[in-house]
Chains A and B, each alone.
Chain A
């Protein structure tokens, strides 16, 4: 690591012992941090880390992870190490940004570390696959262990990527204010970095507090910093404030009050978001999956496995979730200047299909109107053929007031007069259409039911939705997209739920969950 190259270490107002010791230890030896949990806590609280967005949540998770030392014996130390490391990196970046600009060497070392890590994981998986092929009937207790291992490795990669990316951003950001040519690079970098991170990991890009720059700035707030940094902070803050002002227009949420999630295109368009870990069958809802799982054995029939996956984090965290469209340049994309977030995952799906996909559903009645969302077609079919209000320009309207509004807008347009006989004929066809509708209504019940599921009970709906996202994001489908095919194709995971829940902390914004799996980084 490049910690030693950091200039003006002495500027920090922290206890010099910690400040000086920390980077060295980080680079040299993890073991020096093998102290007690309480110490870790203290230390962590003293040193606000770049990833430390929610101290309470973090510490609770921290406790939790330290309660299970069997799989991750060194996790507390690593966590601290990572946070400190990031902290130092971050600060260094900021200072470098101010004095020199960002350090490409640091980035390079980070990336090479990532490369190593991914190779390591690949080897591990190959090994597991090989083992399974040899002894297929091995005791099932081994699977959770293997799975935990892989999870931990993946999580560490995620962490590293995020830290790399986010450590880069403030420096760029900072250079913005001083070096004007770099100004245009910020959105570019945002656009490049974030999706790449997401692609590599799971199709999910994760940010807390809306904007990476802002959180970083926020982290720098504690007053135990040196003067130059403080001044620096204030200037950045002002700048941030201006930018955030015109952000959420339709929904007046303060920028920090929600987190932004972004699904990948494949994820959005996937017909099923829940997959059976045994036979691979897909489902739209996890409840259906659980019902399906009962067929795979008696162990899935217990009340515990049939119950809705419970998440502790959801009860603690009240942070709102908002969604971003993955399509670059879209107003619903978080990089857009006037970004307007989407409220639910259903909104994301409908928005993406409507705006960025082909219109594949054609109305069979008029053969003119096309839709990309099936529900839109059905809505249209309700009214199709009823446009009896015709303008002289040929435009038809379903409502008289719309026609009159049109006429008042355009010079010389007049309403067409429908002769009485034709009118009669029209009403007959309308009646016919109504009959058809009545018939087709039966088939539509299922559809409306599924939408109700999303819009129904608020709290319940939110929980459901969370479950959907998590499992959606970590479904094998996406791993497939990331060239990790063997992982899901040849290794059915009986403890899929466990995996999901371990990742769920990542989704819900609790970084400590991620950090709990960083034992393999060093």
Chain B
């Protein structure tokens, strides 16, 4: 009875407030499962709906009246027919889908063609603000035309829509004049003409991503006319040169973030003109595009008072450089100097002494020693992310210092650091906030070290143990007993692992992404234990697990219904098992089936027929 009174104290208003504080999906699920009133509050206040299976979509929509964001990205078989169904049912029902949906996430919904898309878009034309069509390989000009009916569209993502040409973009530009955010990454058919038209029609663009397009400086000339542009990403555009950056320097008065990494055609003079024109730049990413940082560039860099993030990965950095950067930019939050050769401890000292606010530091460089780490630790107590990939000179001492002072550390990359040993991990385990730890190729760690981490860093969600030969079943045992939040685990080529270790992995209920390549000691029983325990598994890599027999794959077919990506290359799977796996895994989007020695051509045919077009990508050799 006492319990009931507590619940009666919690009014709906209070419950709604409490619910808004919850961010994690798992917590929300727990909240929903408390009791009926909690469930009702959750239903009423839910705005986002991510559907795994299309068959439940309509019911769910009816249950959640305030849903504004519909995410169908993990939903297989999103096609024209389904769209039509959604609309017909919706129209007859008062709780229909269309008038309230503001965002549609249709990533990887390759089955949805222009007919269905047009129906969807027309039904919710005026309110639709955001559409994500990324990775829809079927998305072409006709689909773009259908999409252009959404007049009020503000945010559109078309990453890797390979079939969209300038014509399609023109439709979108003309139809959706109020676009503010547009991502055209990897849309390789789009040229300068399309970009030019876009900049003439969508004058309110604030965010534009034209990475990996075949555009030239002419596009930048057009883009420079966008008065509202705040962020421009232009990764991997080899045809863009300094002239283009010069246009950019003269235009786009509100530009705050620019990413020109991997643009091979530009030099520091071009970058100078951009910096000269935009003193309020906040993010600057020019990694892997310049060999040398000239002194004039550094001179101009000093004037960027608002600069938060400065990334010069792959640049040739000298002492002069390092002296210049921190004297001007005290507000730096992120510094990227990865793969900068000849970076010395003295440089690091100069670099970090001023930057007290530094949170993200990338020093992927093999010349870093413990001295650098000590200066970093002294100055940057707020460090959240530190990348020290292949810093072979780092020893136990560094990790001890990190463990003692950088208590906020959440992400640490120690890949290929030979100096990391079990005792070092013991020191590091004091960073209890650690969420992501990469220990790949750290050959000197063993189960003992892993157990230190596991016992203290319970928030860890991503762990990389790629090719750590010292790790065995006991380590995984410690991990599975305490790190219940682990979502992503890589145990590839940890050859000592056996089925017993797999049973421990099976205890990690949150695990969604498991990579276990080249584990010769694993048999079907081990795999069965994993898939039976990890219900949320969406990605599974079994490459070169040659000793797994059909029983394991049967288990995969039976248990892992949510599996979206699977790699079965070099496995001893038979015709029948493959057929079963492909037909049972209804959410499967991506399958790699390279070199399956026991599978005949007929078996392949049967398997691919069995998955009947749900598969978005098959890699068969």
Contacts and interface: CB of A to CB of B under 8 A. Distances in A.
Interface stretch (A372-380, A405-413, A476-484, A490-498): A405-413
Interface string B449-493: 000000000000000000000000000000000000000000000
B142 A417 contact: yes
B171 A415 contact: yes
A251 interface: no
A408 B167 contact: no
Nearest to A408: B200
Contacts of A404: 166, 170, 193-194, 196-197
Interface string A372-411: 0000000000000000000000000000110010011000
Contacts of A407: 170, 174, 197
Interface in B1-54: none
Given A408-B200, A408-B201, A414 B170 contact: yes
A415 B170 contact: yes
Contacts of B142: 417
Contact of A408 (B145, B171, B175, B197): B197
A406 to B, nearest CB: 10
Nearest to B148: A414
B193 A400 contact: yes
A213 to B, nearest CB: 50
Nearest to A419: B142
B562 interface: no
Contacts of B193: 400-401, 404
A503 B150 CA distance: 76
A401 to B, nearest CB: 6
B174 A413 contact: yes
Contacts of A412: 174
A400 B166 CA distance: 9
Q: Pick from A404, A412, A413 the residue with the most CB of B within 10 Å.
A: A404
A400 B192 CA distance: 11
A414 B174 contact: yes
Interface residues on B, range: 10 to 19
A140 B126 CA distance: 96
Q: Pick from A407, A413, A414, A415 the residue with the most CB of B within 10 Å.
A: A415
Contacts of A401: 193
Nearest to A416: B167
Interface string B139-178: 0011001001000000000000000001110110011000
B141 A417 contact: yes
B167 A417 contact: yes
Nearest to B145: A417
Contacts of B200: 408
Q: Pick from A400, A407, A412 the residue with the most CB of B within 10 Å.
A: A407
Interface residues of A, number: 10
Nearest to B174: A414
Interface in B582-597: none
A407 B193 CA distance: 11
Interface in B345-362: none
A395 B200 CA distance: 20
Interface in B28-83: none
B219 to A, nearest CB: 13
Contact of B175 (A400, A414, A417): A414
A471 B197 CA distance: 55
Contacts of B148: 414
Q: Pick from B168, B193, B196 the residue with the most CB of A within 10 Å.
A: B193
A415 B167 contact: yes
Contacts of A408: 196-197, 200-201
B401 to A, nearest CB: 59
Contacts of B141: 417
Interface in B299-354: none
A415 B174 CA distance: 10
Interface in A323-344: none
Contacts of B170: 404, 407, 414-415
Interface string A147-158: 000000000000
Nearest to B192: A401
A411 to B, nearest CB: 8
A412 B168 CA distance: 14
A387 to B, nearest CB: 15
A140 B456 CA distance: 128
Contacts of A417: 141-142, 145, 167-168, 171
Contacts of A400: 166, 193
A417 B175 CA distance: 15
A413 B201 CA distance: 11
B106 to A, nearest CB: 20
Interface string B412-423: 000000000000
A404 B168 CA distance: 12
Interface string B177-195: 0000000000000000110
A400 B174 CA distance: 16
A84 to B, nearest CB: 68
A288 to B, nearest CB: 49
B166 to A, nearest CB: 7
A400 B190 CA distance: 13
A404 B166 CA distance: 9
A413 to B, nearest CB: 7
Nearest to A420: B140
Q: Pick from B142, B166, B174 the residue with the most CB of A within 10 Å.
A: B174
Nearest to A401: B193
Interface string A403-446: 01001100011110100000000000000000000000000000
Contacts of A413: 174
A117 B460 CA distance: 118
Interface in B190-216: 193-194, 196-197, 200-201
Contacts of B145: 414, 417
Nearest to B194: A404
Interface string A340-352: 0000000000000
A369 B168 CA distance: 30
Contacts of B167: 415, 417
Nearest to A399: B193
Contacts of A414: 145, 148, 170-171, 174-175
A407 B169 CA distance: 12
Q: Pick from B167, B175, B201 the residue with the most CB of A within 10 Å.
A: B167
A407 B167 CA distance: 11
A46 B449 CA distance: 119
A265 to B, nearest CB: 45
A86 B200 CA distance: 66
Nearest to B201: A408
Contacts of B194: 404
Contacts of B175: 414
B201 to A, nearest CB: 7
Nearest to A391: B170
A108 B168 CA distance: 77
B482 to A, nearest CB: 57
A96 B619 CA distance: 102
B196 to A, nearest CB: 7
A378 B170 CA distance: 33
B494 to A, nearest CB: 50
23 contacts: A400-B166, A401-B193, A404-B166, A404-B170, A404-B196, A404-B197, A407-B170, A407-B174, A408-B200, A408-B201, A412-B174, A413-B174, A414-B145, A414-B148, A414-B170, A414-B171, A415-B166, A415-B170, A415-B171, A417-B141, A417-B142, A417-B145, A417-B167
Interface of A: 400-401, 404, 407-408, 412-415, 417
Given A400-B193, A404-B166, A408-B196, 15 more contacts: A401-B193, A404-B170, A404-B193, A404-B194, A407-B174, A412-B174, A413-B174, A414-B145, A414-B148, A414-B171, A414-B174, A415-B166, A417-B141, A417-B145, A417-B167
Top 6 nearest A-B pairs by Cβ distance?
Answer: A408-B200, A415-B167, A404-B193, A417-B141, A414-B174, A415-B170
